[in-house]
Amino acid sequence: MTYRGDVKRIGIVIGATVLAIAAPISSSSAASGLSSYRTQPLNWHSCSVGQCASLRVPLDYTDLSRGDITLAISRVQHSGPNFQGSIVINPGGPGESGLDFAKYGAKYLAPDVAKEFDFIGLDPRGVQNSAPVTCMTPKQTAAWLAMDSSPDTPKEVTSVMRAAGRISKGCLKHSPRIAPFVGTASAAQDLDILRSVLGEEKLNWLGFSYGTSLGTAYLEAFPDHVGRFVLDGALDPALNSMQISDGQSAGFQRAFQNFAADCSRRKTCTLGATPAEITKKVNALLARLDRHPLHTDQGPPLTQSLGMGGMLTAMYSTDMWEPLGDAIAQALSGNGTGLMELAWLGSEQTGPAKFTSNVQSAYYAIDCWDMPAPPGAAGLSAAARRWSAGAPVPEFAKSMAWSNAPCTNWFAHDARGPAPATSSTKAPILVIGTRFDPATPYEWSQALSSQLATSTLLTYEGNGHTAFGSGSRCIDDQVELYLLRGTLPPKGASCSA
């Protein structure tokens, strides 16, 4: 089963003065002061991934006097005699750790590519092992994930907005130094430091989900240093956070309808004989959870938000559809354990208030910085009503709207904001879109490919989030051919599910 980070935390999980700061960073920014960063040695040492090292980068590329931060990087060395260079791999997020993903990429995703390339993983700035940002304690994070993510009453709206405001304040309280500098534009600058230190003239990139945003930011800033770039499950860089949530609302509805259709055809599925019957039961279950959370074997009760979190997590891979059907059936019988397990998978949680990473804090710190402030409570309420009208599962749509609540009161935003990609790179780029991708709808991959003049769009006619490594030999062969030989698929190429 392949599971990668999403671009909106699942469910919700998923009056300050707002500043717009940060002048645009170009590839020549503070160039005279970056030579010591670009020529630093990497002291590799053995670790669970293979080899690990630390990379020193500026905290603030517009003011080097602010000092440095240290990024954690990993390497799985090529296993064959023909060495072509390095590929930097990113699993998504924002906020997902990439250290272990290098090993996963080399061993499982592309072992043939790993014969000729070193696979490089890193935790981007603010993430896990790289100057991690903390906005919530584990206890606060668990409470946030369990909170009603589709508020229906003024009292519930007030509770959500107050809790959302505490996330922004928490970032500045716990991580005042790094919090204002975790944006994607700065992370792209870090990638070019990494490229230089690795001794590469060009950066090779394998990015999934949010990794396509980080990759696109690099394309924009360093068009002459672009090597082989795979952007799988792309985001449209022209969209703001509300437009992203709107697209995801529709994407998850489509994915759920496909799940319901699949479930109704399977003899092992006990939820119903038709998609409509299954959808009706799910809506009834969510309404019940809103009033009465369910018992779970894990201890904490399954709230409506956590129940939705489990359902939405399962939309990321068809491998999780059968377990989801079982978990929903179990919940309908009064036990929320299965849905809680899926919710914890999506939030990287191993027990009550026990998280394996800082992804929940890092997600909001990066996303809220990158995007303009979304509308306040009234605007989110209006979006929730609009998106849920006529939706198969209205609560999904409402939760997508309210997932933007923390960013409404964020302490600062990048002045650049969303814009179409305009990279002048001459390098051939491979963009991959999955027809029924819930988290990064297919239309976004189409949009990004149309914005990048040298790109080719490869379509996977299937379900799930991202395509490479999802079980399609057709997709895998095309990606591996491109990474190994630089050969793009023909225009209009597609692979059946």
> Which of 38, 406, 328 shows the shortest CA–CA distance to 190?
38
Predicted confidence (pLDDT) per residue in 52-63, tens digit = 999 999 999 999
CA distance linking residue 174 with residue 131, whole number of Å: 12
Residue 487: band (very low, low, confident or very high) from pLDDT cuts 50, 70, 90: very high
Predicted confidence (pLDDT) per residue in 84-104, tens digit = 999 999 999 999 999 999 999
The yes-or-no verdict on residue 4 having pLDDT over 50 is no
Please compute the mean of the pLDDT values over residues 424-452 and round it to a whole number. 99
pLDDT of residue 29: 45
Tokens of 14: 């998923």
The answer to whether residues 199 and 40 touch, using CB atoms and an 8 Å cutoff, is no
Place of tokens 């970032």: 171
Predicted confidence (pLDDT) per residue in 356-383, tens digit = 999 999 999 999 999 999 999 999 999 9
Tokens of 259: 């799940």
Predicted confidence (pLDDT) per residue in 414-426, tens digit = 998 999 999 999 9
Predicted confidence (pLDDT) per residue in 207-242, tens digit = 999 999 999 999 999 999 999 999 999 999 999 999
Contacts of 371 (CB under 8 A, 6+ apart): 240, 241, 407, 413, 414, 417, 418
CA distance linking residue 281 with residue 294, whole number of Å: 16
Place of tokens 């027990």: 351
H/E stretch holding 163 reads helix 154-174
The answer to whether residues 409 and 168 touch, using CB atoms and an 8 Å cutoff, is yes
In this structure, how many other beta carbons lie within 10 angstroms of the beta carbon of residue 80? 11
CA distance linking residue 312 with residue 393, whole number of Å: 11
In this structure, how many other beta carbons lie within 10 angstroms of the beta carbon of residue 138? 16
Helix axis angle for 359-370 and 184-197, nearest 10°, is 110
The yes-or-no verdict on residue 7 having pLDDT over 80 is no
CATH architecture of 43-133+185-239+424-496: 3-Layer(aba) Sandwich (3.40)
Phi and psi at residue 345, to the nearest 5°:
-60, -45
CA distance linking residue 29 with residue 32, whole number of Å: 8
- In the chain, which residues fall in CATH 3.40.50.1820? 43-133+185-239+424-496
The answer to whether residues 29 and 61 touch, using CB atoms and an 8 Å cutoff, is yes
CA distance linking residue 109 with residue 87, whole number of Å: 13
The yes-or-no verdict on residue 9 having pLDDT over 70 is no
CA distance linking residue 350 with residue 139, whole number of Å: 13
* 295 DSSP β-pair partners: 335
pLDDT of residue 32: 63
Tokens of 324: 């989801």
CA distance linking residue 81 with residue 91, whole number of Å: 27
**DSSP of 330-366:** HHHTTB-HHHHHHHHHHHTEEETTEESSSHHHHHHHH
Rg (CA), the chain: 22
The answer to whether residues 427 and 231 touch, using CB atoms and an 8 Å cutoff, is no
Write the single-letter amino acid at 2.
T
SS3 assignment, position 2: coil
- Strand 117-122's sheet: what is its strand order? 45-46, 51-58, 68-76, 117-122, 85-90, 203-208, 226-232, 429-436, 455-463, 494-496
pLDDT of residue 22: 42
The answer to whether residues 209 and 5 touch, using CB atoms and an 8 Å cutoff, is yes
> Which of 431, 440, 434, 430 shows the shortest CA–CA distance to 497?
434
pLDDT of residue 31: 59
CA distance linking residue 486 with residue 489, whole number of Å: 10
Write the single-letter amino acid at 40.
Q
Query: Cis peptide before 94, with omega less than 30 degrees from 0?
Result: yes
The yes-or-no verdict on residue 6 having pLDDT over 90 is no
In this structure, how many other beta carbons lie within 10 angstroms of the beta carbon of residue 389? 9
Residue 11: band (very low, low, confident or very high) from pLDDT cuts 50, 70, 90: very low
CA distance linking residue 476 with residue 483, whole number of Å: 11
CA distance linking residue 150 with residue 28, whole number of Å: 45
CA distance linking residue 120 with residue 88, whole number of Å: 5
Place of tokens 């020549």: 28
The yes-or-no verdict on residue 198 having pLDDT over 50 is yes
The answer to whether residues 488 and 452 touch, using CB atoms and an 8 Å cutoff, is no
User: Do you know the residue count of the chain?
Assistant: 497
